[in-house]
């Protein structure tokens, strides 16, 4: 089982920098509650070795390390050269933590408590008997009927625009027949004559196509409904019902 050691305190000597690590000295006193009959341990000096990457994450500097209280967790070693390890025991640091100052911790806790109390007070509902609520009630103005009617009138106008008279279900617009561009692959095909005649008879009977043509928005290229396009051309329709397909 590996040896483990934990140190708390501040650095007792200046920070020394090496290629990949830093080192500093610490000092700790033994426990005052040693078993009776045994000698109490005296101060022991340690030299702590910390990787530069781990040290930089703490935010410590050469000056602050002499004043900040830190926690070191690692393992002792006696294999460090004496010129790098003036302490009696060398410590290879696995984790270094800056401990909070007691005064600052109390102040932060007090500030947090005050903030929570203020938040609760703001969230407390205002009763109807309080003057603030009465003032708010007085400031509320009734909505004029004219303002309420405007959106309804706009919706009615929109619905009228969407509902085109005597046109097949789903029609979005009436497009001039001459504006429709037919792709070459459609022109090379011939719709079934029997089905085409049924659509022609439907147009003569109702005065409209049975379904709208699908047109690409912006380019007016025919995407679907070539049979209905042929019918519209045959009966010489000026405008045809369309559904728009947007470019992807």
The whole-number pLDDT of residue 159 equals 46
CB 213 within 8 A of CB 241: yes
The whole-number pLDDT of residue 36 equals 78
The whole-number pLDDT of residue 160 equals 45
Q: What is the pTM of this model?
A: 0.42
Q: What is the Cα–Cα distance from 215 to 182, expressed in whole angstroms?
A: 10
The whole-number pLDDT of residue 193 equals 92
Q: What is the Cα–Cα distance from 169 to 205, expressed in whole angstroms?
A: 17
Do β-strands 70-77 and 89-98 pair in parallel, antiparallel, or remain unpaired?
antiparallel
Q: What share of the chain is helix, strand, coil (3-state, %, to 5)?
A: 35, 25, 40
The whole-number pLDDT of residue 114 equals 74
The whole-number pLDDT of residue 161 equals 46
The whole-number pLDDT of residue 75 equals 94
- Helix or strand run (H / E) with residue 45: strand 44-51
Q: In 15-36, which positions are buried (b, 16+ CB within 10 angstroms) versus exposed (e)?
A: beeeeebbbbbbbbeeeeeeee
Collapsed DSSP state (helix, strand, coil) of residue 116: helix
Q: What is the Cα–Cα distance from 221 to 245, expressed in whole angstroms?
A: 10
Domain annotation for the chain: domains and CATH numbers: 5-102 (2.40.50.140), 164-245 (3.90.1530.10)
Alpha helices in the chain (DSSP H): 52-58, 102-123, 131-139, 145-162, 184-187, 193-206, 226-234
Q: How far is CA 149 from CA 30, 140, 156, 163, 238, in A?
A: 86, 20, 11, 21, 38
Handedness of CA 220, 222, 228, 230 (dihedral sign): positive
Q: Mean pLDDT, consecutive 10-residue segments, the chain of 248 residues?
A: 84 91 88 74 89 93 89 90 86 92 67 69 55 51 52 50 73 93 91 93 91 93 94 93 87
């Amino acid at each position: 089982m590996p040896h483990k050691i934990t140190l708390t305190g501040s650095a007792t000597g200046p920070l020394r920098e090496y290629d990949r690590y830093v080192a500093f000295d610490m000092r700790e006193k033994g426990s005052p509650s040693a078993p009776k009959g045994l000698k109490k341990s005296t101060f022991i000096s340690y030299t702590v070795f910390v990787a530069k990457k781990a040290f930089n994450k703490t935010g410590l500097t050469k000056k602050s390390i002499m004043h900040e209280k830190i926690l070191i967790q690692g393992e002792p070693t006696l294999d460090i050269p004496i010129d790098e390890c003036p302490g009696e025991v060398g410590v290879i640091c696995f984790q270094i933590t800056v401990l909070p100052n007691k005064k600052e911790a109390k102040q932060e806790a007090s500030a947090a408590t005050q903030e929570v109390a203020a938040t609760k007070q703001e969230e407390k509902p205002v009763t109807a008997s309080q003057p603030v609520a009465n003032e708010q009630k007085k400031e509320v103005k009734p909505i004029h009927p004219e303002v309420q009617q405007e959106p309804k009138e706009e919706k009615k106008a929109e619905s009228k625009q969407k509902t085109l008279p005597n046109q097949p279900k789903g029609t979005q617009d009436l497009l001039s027949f001459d504006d429709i561009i037919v792709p070459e692959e459609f022109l090379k095909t011939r719709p079934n004559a029997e089905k085409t005649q049924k659509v022609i008879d439907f147009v003569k009977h109702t005065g409209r196509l049975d379904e709208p043509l699908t047109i690409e928005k912006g380019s007016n290229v025919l995407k679907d409904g070539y049979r209905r396009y042929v019918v519209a051309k045959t009966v010489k329709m000026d405008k045809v019902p369309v559904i728009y397909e947007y470019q992807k």
